[in-house]
Structure 1
Amino acid sequence: MTTTVERGVAGALDSALPTRFSLTPKTTLTGQLDGAWWPYSRDLTTELPPLVEALDGRLGRITRVMVNPTRWPVVPHKVPATGHTVHVGWFTELDPEKMILLSYTVGRFDLLVIPPGTEPAAAARLLTAAAIPGSVLTAGVLMSDEAATGGRMRDTRSSEDTWENDGGPALPSLRHPSSARG
């Protein structure tokens, strides 16, 4: 289920921008991911509060977040969220495409983090794929598969554009072979 929640946190990039995320529906099937998040920037201080606010009602109070620092230029130790502080840790062993959230009620919650500059169609596919119950695909595999899919789609569009711009396929000669003699 893809969800957008209007941002209402002071200091956010733009409080009118929705928080873009998807969550795996409640089921007995467990998978590698519990959903996905598509932030607007790589600024955790700005991006985390709206996500935590949106998820608090569904997962309980988020107390800790873990990220791989290779995807975040600055990893703050603490980020203020609605009515509490979220502690942020970083681990280079963590899949760089993933974020782990910890809450009192749900425990561990793993999200695919979709890069901010991702094309909307690709992000929509990733938001959907990360929320499939029981999926065995990791965050890194989903991102790799999407890169391959996106490349094939760009190649197809490029071929179609070339075909259209060149007037379609080459037409066979309409002259009769015997008229080709000189």
Structure 2
Amino acid sequence: MTTTLSLHPPSARLRLSEQSFQDGSARRIDGAWWPRSYDLTAELPGLLARLPHRWGQISSVLVNGAMWSLSGDGTRIEDQGVHLRRTDLPRAEHTICLLAPGYGRWDLLVVPPAATEAEAERLMETATADAPLAGRTA
């Protein structure tokens, strides 16, 4: 089962896998996010506001440095400091990693902002399908 959290109806901008809510599930991708731009400081507050409370307070975010526009190394969201980090690893090119001390780590597929609604829906559905990762096709 897939849980969809809507940022701006009618199109869903965040979709989380139901498996990401279960303890002990080993997934490489916990959901998919379709931001409106690659300006992380502008997009991050909306994303964090829609995450499940059980994920805890996100304190650190890791993104691909070449893909995202960042101003500084942190931002304040509802009086909470969030450390922004960059990586140049090719395997992290289309993901965002969210870390919450004492709660865990969650990796979201980032759907390109320029994607059409149909493309975004297909990518988000594929990323959050409950089928085992080994059985998925790209």
Counterpart of 2:101 in structure 1 is 104
Letter in 2 for 1:115: P
2:88 counterpart letter in structure 1: T
For 2:45 and 2:10, locate their aligned partners in 1 and report how far apart those are by CA, in whole Å.
13
Residue 70 of structure 1 aligns to a residue in which SS? coil
8 A Cα contact 1:67 1:99, kept in partner: yes
2:88 equivalent to 1:92? yes
For the pair 1:21 / 2:14, whether they are aligned, the reply is: yes
**Where in structure 2 are there 5+ consecutive unaligned residues?**
none
Selected match of 1:65 from 56, 61, 82: 61
Code of the aligned partner of 1:89? R
- 1:115, 1:103 → 2: CA distance? 25
**CA-CA distance at 1:104 after TM superposition:** 2.5
1:19: Cα distance to partner? 7.3
Aligned to 2:29: 33
1:125/1:23 CA distance change after superposition, 3 Å: same
> What amino acid is aligned across from residue 4 of structure 1 in structure 2?
S
Residue 121 (structure 1) shift: 0.8
Give the Cα separation in 1 of the matches to 2:12 and 2:102.
22
- Do 2:4 and 2:12's aligned partners in 1 also have CA atoms closer than 8 Å? no
- CA drift at 1:83: 2.7
Percent identity of equivalent pairs: 32
Compare the two structures and name the one with the higher strand fraction: 2
TM-score normalised by the chain length of structure 1: 0.63
Residue 5 of structure 1 aligns to a residue in which SS?
coil
- CA, structure 1 residues 82+61, in 2 after alignment: closer, same or farther (shift >3 Å)? same
In structure 2, distance between residues paired with 1:20 and 1:132: 16
**Structure 1 residues 37 and 121: CA distance shift in structure 2, 3 A:** same
Q: Is the 1:65–1:100 contact (alpha carbons within 8 Å) kept by the matching residues of 2?
A: yes
**Separation in 1, partners of 2:52, 2:77:** 10
Say whether 1:3 aligns with 2:1: no
Over aligned residues, Cα RMSD in angstroms?
2.6
- Residue 5 of structure 1 and its aligned partner are, at CA, apart by 3.5
Q: Between Structure 1 and Structure 2, whose CA radius of gyration is higher?
A: 1
Unaligned runs of 5+ in 1: 7-15, 146-182
Matching of residues 89-168 of structure 1 within 5 Å: 89-93=85-89, 94-133=91-130, 134-136=132-134, 145=138
Q: Which residue identity is paired with 2:15?
A: S
1:43–1:72 contact (8 Å) kept in structure 2: yes
Question: 2:11·2:117 contact (CA, 8 Å) conserved in 1?
Answer: no
Quick one: higher RCO (CA 8 Å, sep 6+), 1 or 2? 2
What CA distance in whole angstroms lies between the structure 1 residues aligned with 2:54 and 2:123?
A: 21
Contact 1:30–1:135 under 8 Å retained in 2: no
